[in-house]
Amino acid sequence: MIFVDGRPFSQRDEDLVALLEEPWLMSASESFKAKPERKITAVDSARTHCVYIFQREYATVNPRWGVEMIGMDEATTCVGLVIRNRSDGMISIAHFDSPKVVDAGLSQMLALVSDRSRDVELDVHMIGGFDDAAYKVYDDDESTKRSNGYSLPLCSKIIKSLQISQRKFHMQTVCILGHNTRKDAGGHSCPIVRGFLVETLTGSIQPASFDRSSRCPDEIVRRLRVTVSSGDYRWHGKLLETYDTMRFRFRIAACSWHADWKYHAYSLLQLSDLDILSRCSTSPSAESPDFVENERRVFQYLIDHPDWTEIFPERKPHVFRRIDDGEWIICDQCPKCYTRIRRC
C-alpha cells in the first residue's frame, strides 16, 4: 500500500495521475531536481565503497557494512527505484527497463530489505522516465502499436504493484514522466535527471552521474548481460543479480547467449551512429553522448567472445572483492585463497 506524507493513498484506476498531482510529492520532486548533480569518479567510488548498478540490475546494501553510497545513471525511458527500510536502514535499488520485470523484481528487492515483514515501514524514491509518448512502441504481445511511449507503462506498472502490495510504501520522491521532462535545443523531449546517488547512512538522495571508470567492476560484461539476457530463460521476468549483500562483494551472475549473436553484432557494428541509435535505443534523441560508443563496445565483445561458456565457465558468477586501494579484484570462490586475480 502507498502512503503520501504519512497518509494512505486511496486506490483508484487513475493512481499514477493522482499521485503525480499530490502537492507534497510535487514539492519533493522540485526540491530533488534543484539539488546539484554530483559527478562520481573512480576515486569517489573507491573512497566511499560505492555500489553502482546498470540497466536491469538490482542491489541491496546494509549501511553498517561499509558501503557509503549506492547509485545508477544512464536512464532515459527506464526508472530507478529505491526502497529503504526505516528501521535498519537496509537499502535496495533497481534499474527497471520493462513492465515485465516489475513484479519479480520487486520481490527480489524486498527479499532482504523488508525481512518478509508486512509491518515494516519502507521509504520509496522513484526517479527516471520522461514524456516519451512521441515514440511508437509495441505492446506486450507485439501485435499492435500504441503511442504512449515506454516510460508511462513502466511507471504505471510500478505504482500499481506498490499499491496492491501488503507492505507499507511511503513515497518520498516521484520524479518521473512530466516532472522529469524538458526540451533540448532541438525541441525534443528528454529527461532532466538520468541518475541518482543514495547516501546509505542517511537515506538522502541527489541527482548524480558516473564516469566510465566508476561503473565497476566488470563494466563491459554487465553491459553485455543487458543486451543478451532476454534470450536467457533463467532471467525472464527478473532483474539481474549483481551484489552479494552478506559478503560485501560483487557477484555478477552468469548469463548465456547464442553463438549467432556474433553475426548479429557484426551487422550492427557496420551501421552508422544514427542507425545504431534508431535500432538500439528506446529514445534515440535523448541518449547520452557515449551511448553509441558503449553499444559498439558490446558488439565488439560479442564478436570476440561468441561462446558464453568462456566468459562464465560452468555458469559460475564473476566474484569481485575490493582491496585497500579501492580497486576491485576478481577471485575464485575459494574460502582460503584467491588464486585467479584480475584488477578492474
Q: Which CATH number characterizes residue 338's domain?
A: 3.30.1330.200
Q: What is the pLDDT of residue 333?
A: 47
CA distance 46 to 342: 17
CA atoms within 13 A on the CB side of 157: 20
CB 162 within 8 A of CB 124: yes
Task: Please give the pLDDT value at position 343.
Answer: 53
**pLDDT-derived band of residue 198, with 50, 70 and 90 as boundaries?**
very high
The pLDDT value given to residue 188: 87
Q: Count Cα atoms within 13 angstroms, Cβ side, for 333.
A: 14
User: With bands split at pLDDT 50, 70 and 90, how would you rate the model's confidence at 341?
Assistant: very low
Q: Which residue has the higher pLDDT, 14 or 271?
A: 271
Name the residue among 279, 283, 84, 76 with its Cα closest to residue 200.
Answer: 84
| Rounded (5°) CA angle 78-80-85 | 160
Residue 177 pLDDT:
95
pLDDT at 106: 97
pLDDT at residue 248, rounded to an integer: 87
In the chain, DSSP finds a helix count (H) and a strand count (E) of 10, 22
In this prediction, residues 32-40 reach a mean pLDDT of 96
Residue 116: band (very low, low, confident or very high) from pLDDT cuts 50, 70, 90: low
Distance in angstroms (rounded) separating the CA atoms of residues 154 and 129: 8
pLDDT exceeds 70 at position 133:
yes
pLDDT at 76: 95
Strand residues in 186-317 grouped as ranges (E): 189-191, 196-199, 205-210, 240-241, 243-244, 249-252
Question: pLDDT class for 14, splitting at 50, 70, 90?
Answer: low
Q: What is the pLDDT of residue 15?
A: 80
The per-residue pLDDT for 145 is 45
Residue 226, pLDDT > 60, answer: yes
What integer pLDDT is reported at residue 336 of this predicted model?
A: 42
Share of the chain above pLDDT 70, in %: 90
pLDDT at 147: 58
Range of the domain at 128: 2-343
Q: Give the DSSP letter of residue 40.
A: E
* pLDDT average, residue stretch 15-41: 94
pLDDT at 11: 62
Question: Quick one: pLDDT at residue 48?
Answer: 87
Q: Quick one: which of 233, 232, 255 has its CA closest to 242?
A: 255
Domain count of the chain?
1
pLDDT band at 242 (very low <50, low <70, confident <90, very high): very high
Query: Average pLDDT, stretch 279-305?
Result: 95
Q: What is the pTM of this model?
A: 0.91
**Strands (E) located in 98-140:** 121-128, 137-138
The β-bridge partners of 125 are 82, 173
pLDDT of residue 332: 60
Full strand arrangement of the beta sheet holding 243-244: 243-244, 249-252, 318-322, 328-330, 342-343
**Mean per-residue pLDDT over the chain, rounded:** 89
The amino acid at residue 226 is V
Instruction: Kindly report which listed range (37-41, 50-54, 100-104, 185-189) carries the lowest average pLDDT score.
Output: 185-189
